[in-house]
Chains A and B, each alone.
Chain A
Amino acid sequence: MENIENKLREEAKKLLTEKKVDALVGYEEGTLPFQASPCIITEPEEADKLVWNAFCSVNLAKYVHDIIHRHRESQMRVKPEDRTKKIVGIVARGCTTRSIAIHLQEKQYDRDEVVIIGVPCTGYIAKKKLSKAVKGKEVIECTIEGDSVTAVTSEGSIKIPLKEVLSDSCLSCRYNNPVISDLMIGDAAPPMDPEKEYEDVDAFEALSEEERWAYFTKEMDKCIRCYACRNTCPSCYCKQCFVEQNQPRWVGVGVDQTDTQVFQIMRIFHQVGRCVDCGSCIEVCPMGVDLRKFLKKLDKDGFELFTHRAGESLDSPPPLSAYSLTGDKDDFIFEP
């Protein structure tokens, strides 16, 4: 891990010094003992603050999208022939590169606007699982050594197997190594356990309709409509989300149960073939809403109906934005 971090800083410094990127998105050490915070650097000397460890959680692809789009907007007042591109570098694990692939497929920016520093990934620690492992106490210190995590709380120190606190998305990750990159750091990471990918969904599918609806309702009742899930999601890049449109208004602004459900259902359904299961929405949710079960169900459908896995390569566009005369299995349209 340390080697990767050193190499990462070196490469980042080089890219910034040689002006191959105008900005670089990575992670820096946070102020809390179990958090790495996203950061955007523009100067070579800032590269030394980059970190790479199991606390690096949120998907950074969203920042690339936003930086490029803000820049493009600022270029609107510039004569077309004088317009510049802003090249953004990004520290990207497997899921992040899949999000970038989706951005590229959906023509959000050009391939030459992003420089991908690929990093192998062995999973990140899910804050909520860590908190649960220490019975909700505040983690005052947290260190990782090999396969175990030592968390210190006011009640003492606990050693927890790393696997127990890794994000569920990571445990069954199929693409923990970058699917596209401009340069790679470190050796490929060993595979995770993708065979168990849909275990949760299978169990959920086996429930009755009433039970499923009850679970959905219970989870959505936790939502406070802060929109952290949407805002961190690389695939949620609409300039104006439908929840904020008011001519006409699609969803009420209050905490009416149905409004919250509509927001979540619509967001989830917009992810068909576009959710890379990076787990960021779950990670950032302050209330611990289980969004993954529903997103993963759509992911499963995407695979079973279209043999498609979101962002797995630049050549497989999201099924709902592609049409193939021979490839579509359309039976399901008539037999839901």
Chain B
Amino acid sequence: METRIIKKENLAGIVKKLSEDMLVYAPVQEEDNVLFKVLEKGMEPLIEFDNAKNAPKNFFFPQTETMMRYLKGERGEELTDVPEEMQEAVLFGVRPCDARSFVLLDNVFNDSKYRDPYYAERREKTTIVSFACVEPPYTTCFCTSVDGHPFSTEGIDISLVDLGDEFLAEFLTPKGESLLVRLGELPKADEASMSKKEALSGEAADKIKSKVPGRSIKPWLDENFEHPFWDTIHQSCLACGTCTYLCPTCHCFDITDEIKKEEGKRIRSWDSCMYWLFTMETSGHNPRPSQKERWRQRLMHKFKYFVDNFDAIACVGCGRCVMYCPVNIDIRKIVQDISKL
């Protein structure tokens, strides 16, 4: 593994330089929000920030994606377009929790049996550069409870660790190493930097105070599809899609055709289990008739079904749903409450 040292004051410049030659996604300040955006000329990538409000899943699994276009011709419908070729890209500045979300999503979209060509190609062509959480950004962070770690390297190609005045850059994968030549001359990291990183890593994990028994509720979920507890959590839920849309691991989608006169396109767009329309059937029957069933689904999907299918919890502990739920429905509390049942 290659390791390098990058001076703090140089990092933003390196990222901006990179964005001249290739597609770079980076966290930027947009009014009051920190958001992952395509870095365009004149935009400043953030080096010191907590985390972006939007999860970076959008770059692999866009909120809306055109899968094909068609045109009504004389001989029926003709396909007129195939998706453009994906570009080489760098996703800069992700937190380890968000990087882990890609490993989880790979189970769904880039499995040996089912390979989603759009997602898979973007994943393959994108190099992921992360900031280890030396200071876990929020008190709502709970990555250590869902198999994560503030210094996790899962899903990461290049990991940056803030050592004070400089960053330790670890080139963890061949994809990461291949980016090295584009970054200019960088000094190699010494032993001292490496051991400093080890120390910071242990301290960081201790700083995560929010603890959730993520794994241990599984047996209860296995047995209690029907339980009075499910009547309690959804009462104040607005049934909006904030939690699922900001979630790095939520990945449900819907496919629709949009037709204007003779032209049509087939699009895939994010959907949310919180919406009543999500399971609405053409007959008018809805197998999840109320918010109770929808909430149960959200919990079950993250802490049971995904574990059954892939032996992983579909939650990375980023805390976005906790922080941004308009009515403060706290998934940490729900999991804790279940563990006491």
Which A residues from 144 to 201 make CB contacts under 8 A with B? 154
Q: Are B32 and A40 touching (Cβ within 8 A)?
A: no
Count residues of chain B with CB under 8 A from any CB of chain A.
Answer: 43
Of the candidates B32, B258, B328, the one whose C-beta lies within 8 Å of that of A37 is B328
* Shortest distance from the beta carbon of A163 to any chain B beta carbon, whole Å: 19
Known A37-B236, A37-B327, A58-B327; judge A132-B32 contact (CB<8 A). yes
Q: Per-residue CB proximity of A50-90 to B under 8 Å, as 1/0?
A: 00000000100011000000100000000000000000000
Most chain B Cβ neighbours within 10 Å, of A40, A58, A228, A284: A228
Task: Other than A39-B236, A128-B32, A254-B269, give 9 A-B pairs with Cβ distance below 8 A.
Answer: A31-B333, A37-B236, A63-B236, A136-B50, A226-B272, A253-B254, A284-B240, A288-B31, A288-B33
With A128-B32, A286-B246, A288-B33 as contacts: A32 and B322 at CB distance below 8 Å: yes
Task: Contacts A224-B63, A231-B238, A231-B239 given; indicate if A286 touches B32 (C-beta within 8 A).
Answer: no
Is B304's CB within 8 Å of the partner chain A? Answer: no
Stretch in B102-110, B133-141, B168-176 touching the partner: B133-141
CB of B69 to closest CB in A, whole Å: 14
CB <8 Å contact, B258 and A254: yes
Q: Is A283 an interface residue (CB 8 A)?
A: yes
* B235 on interface, CB distance cutoff 8 Å: yes
Q: Rank and list the top 9 A-B pairs by shortest CB-CB distance, nearest first.
A: A284-B326, A254-B64, A228-B240, A226-B241, A30-B328, A37-B328, A231-B238, A31-B330, A38-B236
Residue pair B242, A226 in contact (C-beta under 8 Å): yes
In the bound complex, CA of A32 to CA of B138 (Å): 11
Q: Which residues of A contact B246 (CB under 8 A)?
A: 286
Contact of A255 among B32, B269, B332 (CB under 8 A): B269
Contact with B along A7-39 (1 / 0, CB 8 A): 000000000000000000000001110011111
* B235 to A, closest residue via Cβ: A40
Contact call B327/A154, Cβ cutoff below 8 A? no
Q: A254-B267, A287-B33 known; A231 and B332 CB under 8 Å?
A: no
* A205 in the interface (beta carbon within 8 A): no
Q: Name B175-199 residues within 8 Å CB distance of A.
A: none
Bound CA span A284–B325, Å: 8
Contact in complex: B269, A58 (CB < 8 Å): no
| A227 close to chain B: CB less than 8 A | yes
Between A and B, 25 residue pairs with Cβ closer than 8 Å are A30-B330, A31-B332, A31-B333, A40-B236, A131-B32, A136-B50, A154-B135, A222-B30, A225-B245, A226-B272, A227-B240, A228-B326, A231-B240, A232-B326, A244-B277, A253-B267, A254-B64, A254-B269, A255-B63, A255-B269, A283-B326, A284-B240, A284-B326, A284-B327, A288-B33
Check: A256 CB closer than 8 A to any chain B CB: yes
Within 8 Å of chain B (Cβ to Cβ): is A138?
A: yes
With the chains together, A232 CA to B324 CA distance in Å? 14
In the bound complex, residues from chain B placing their C-beta under 8 Å from that of A254 are 63-64, 258, 267, 269
Beyond A138-B138, A154-B135, A286-B324, is A226–B245 a contact (Cβ under 8 Å)? yes
> In the assembled complex, which residues on chain B have CB atoms less than 8 Å from the CB atom of A1?
none
Chain A contact residues: helix, strand, loop or mixed = loop
B233 CB, min distance to chain A CBs, angstroms: 12
Instruction: Say yes or no for B216: interface residue by CB 8 A criterion.
Output: no
Does any Cβ of A come within 8 Å of B18's Cβ?
no
Measured CA separation A224–B277 after assembly (Å)? 17
Residue of A nearest to B135 (CB): A154
Identify which of B235, B267, B290, B328 gathers the most chain A CB atoms within 10 Å of its CB: B328
A228 contacts across to B, CB distance below 8 A:
238, 240-242, 326
Structural contact, B53 and A286, CB atoms closer than 8 A? yes
B32:A138 contact, CB within 8 angstroms:
no
* B50–A137 touching, CB < 8 Å: yes
Q: What is the bound-complex CA distance between A63 and B30, given in angstroms?
A: 33
Docked pose: A62 CA to B235 CA in angstroms:
12
Complex Cα distance A232/B325, Å?
12
Q: Which residues from chain A contact B140 at a C-beta distance below 8 Å?
A: 32, 138
Cβ of B333: which chain A residues have Cβ within 8 Å of it? 31
Q: Report how far A126 CA is from B50 CA in the complex, Å.
A: 21
Residues of A within 8 A of B54 (CB): 224
Asked if B267 and A38 sit within 8 Å, CB to CB, the answer is no
Q: Chain A CB within 10 Å — which of B235, B246, B275 has the most?
A: B235
Distance, CA A22 to CA B218, complexed state (A): 35
Name A224's closest neighbour in chain B (CB-CB): B245
- Indicate if A140 sits at the interface (CB-CB under 8 A): yes
Inside 8 A of B31's CB, which chain A residues have their CB?
288
Contact between A288 and B32 (Cβ–Cβ < 8 Å)? Answer: yes
The chain B residue with its CB closest to the CB of A37 is: B328
Query: What residues on B are CB-neighbors of A140 within 8 Å?
Result: 139
Assembly CA distance A231 to B238 (angstroms)? 6
